[in-house]
Amino acid sequence: MSMCGGIGEVKDANDEVHKICEQMKPHVEEKTGKTYEVFKAKSFKSQVVAGTNYFIKVHVGGDDHVHLRVFQALPCHGREAKLNDVQESKSEHDPILYF
């Protein structure tokens, strides 16, 4: 568990992160202007704030990856997930950093 405000350690993508990733795919495609046949969460870091920021490494085909920053609101605010930013042209070996 990460401390409030700090970014946690890298973890393998779990069911919750896969679900968030699926929800974000159309938003990422709109933001990047690309269509992804492959879009699979591989790993993530999280940051507890007034909700949770997820920094997710997503495999998008071949050797290509993107990093997503997604904010998920607290349950009292509906737990809605929102794409905040995307970093393109990432590799499997690029570390997930705060952005």
Domain count, the chain: 1
| 1 belongs to a structural domain | no
| 97 belongs to a structural domain | no
Lowest mean pLDDT among 3-7, 25-29, 56-60, 90-94: 3-7
C-alpha separations of 35 from 29, 75, 94 in Å: 6, 31, 22
| 95 belongs to a structural domain | no
Domain coverage including residue 44? 11-90
- Return the bridge partners of 54, or none: 46, 70
| 39 belongs to a structural domain | yes
In this prediction the pTM is: 0.90
Q: Which two tokens stand for residue 29?
A: 């495609």
CATH of the domain at 61: 3.10.450
Q: In what order do the strands lie in the sheet with 51-61?
A: 11-12, 40-49, 51-61, 64-73, 81-90
Q: Is the pLDDT of residue 1 over 70?
A: no
